Structure 1
Amino acid sequence: MSGGAWTLLGARTWVAWLLAGCYLAATVAQPLASWGAYTCHWAVVGAIALFVLAGVVLIATPGDPLPLWATIVIVLACPLACALQFSAIALPVQTSHQLWPVGASVLPYTFLCVRRRILAGWIGGISLTLVSLAWTGLTGQPAGTAISISILNAGPLMMSTLFAVTIVPAADTIYRLRAENTRRAADDAAAGAALAVRDARLRRLDRLVRPALDRIAAGPPFLDAEISGFLVLEAHLRDTLRAPGLVGAELDAAVRAARERGVRVRLHDDGGLTGSDPVVRERIHQRIVAEVNGVTDGTVTVRILPPGRRRAVTVVSSGAEAARRLDLGRDGALTQPAKSA
Structure 2
Amino acid sequence: MVAEMSGAGIQASAATACAAAGTGGQDDDLFGFRSRAVLVALVGFAVAYVTVTVGTGLHITSPRRWAGLIVAFGLLVVTARRVVRLPDGRCDRRSAVAAAVAVLAATGISWWSLPAEQYMTLQNGPATAGGIVVLTLVAVRGQPGIAWAGAVAMSVLCGLWGLDRGIGFVPGVTITVWAYPVLVLSALFLLILRPMADQNAELRARSLREAFDAASTEAAADERRRNFEDFEQRARPVLERIAADDEFSSSEIAEMHLLEAQLRDGIRAPDWDTPAIRDAVWAARARGAVVILLDDGALQSLDEEDRASSRDRMARLLLDELAADNERVTARIMPPGRPVAASVVVSSRDCTRRIEMTAEGEVVRSVSGT
Bin of the TM-score, shorter chain as denominator length: 0.7 to 0.9
Given that 1:303 and 1:315 are in contact with CA atoms closer than 8 Å, whether structure 2 keeps it comes out as: yes
Task: Map 1:120-131 to 2 at 5 A.
Answer: 120-131=146-157
1-structure distance, mates of 2:211, 2:64: 58
Under a length normalisation based on structure 2, what TM-score does the superposition of the two structures give? 0.72
Q: Which position in structure 2 is the counterpart of 1:45? A: 67
Q: Which position in structure 2 is the counterpart of 1:269? A: 294
Under a length normalisation based on structure 1, what TM-score does the superposition of the two structures give? 0.78
1-structure distance, mates of 2:321, 2:239: 32
Given that 2:352 and 2:367 are in contact with CA atoms closer than 8 Å, whether structure 1 keeps it comes out as: yes
Q: Which position in structure 1 is the counterpart of 2:332? A: 304
Given that 1:82 and 1:128 are in contact with CA atoms closer than 8 Å, whether structure 2 keeps it comes out as: no
Deviation readout 1:162-202 (Å, 9 max, x if unpaired): 11111223223223322332233233212311221122112
Where does structure 2 lack aligned partners over 5 or more consecutive residues? 1-24
2-structure distance, mates of 1:159, 1:311: 57
Deviation readout 1:187-224 (Å, 9 max, x if unpaired): 32123112211221122122222322221232253233
Return the match for 1:179 from 194, 205, 222: 205
Between 1 and 2, higher relative CO (CA 8 Å, sep ≥ 6) is seen in 2
Q: Which position in structure 2 is the counterpart of 1:335? A: 364
Return the match for 1:281 from 296, 300, 311: 311
Given that 2:49 and 2:126 are in contact with CA atoms closer than 8 Å, whether structure 1 keeps it comes out as: yes
Q: Which position in structure 1 is the counterpart of 2:259? A: 233
Return the match for 2:98 from 66, 70, 81: 70
Residue 272 to residue 109, structure 1, CA distance change in 2 (3 Å) = closer
Q: How many residues align?
A: 332
Return the match for 2:179 from 129, 153, 161: 153
In terms of Rg, which structure is larger? 1
Q: Which position in structure 2 is the counterpart of 1:54? A: 76
What's the % identity of the aligned pairs?
25
RMSD (Å), alpha carbons? 3.8
Q: Which position in structure 1 is the counterpart of 2:8? A: none
2-structure distance, mates of 1:276, 1:285: 18
2-structure distance, mates of 1:236, 1:215: 19
Given that 2:111 and 2:124 are in contact with CA atoms closer than 8 Å, whether structure 1 keeps it comes out as: no
Return the match for 1:314 from 335, 344, 350: 344
Residue 338 to residue 156, structure 1, CA distance change in 2 (3 Å) = same
Amino acid at match of 1:266: V
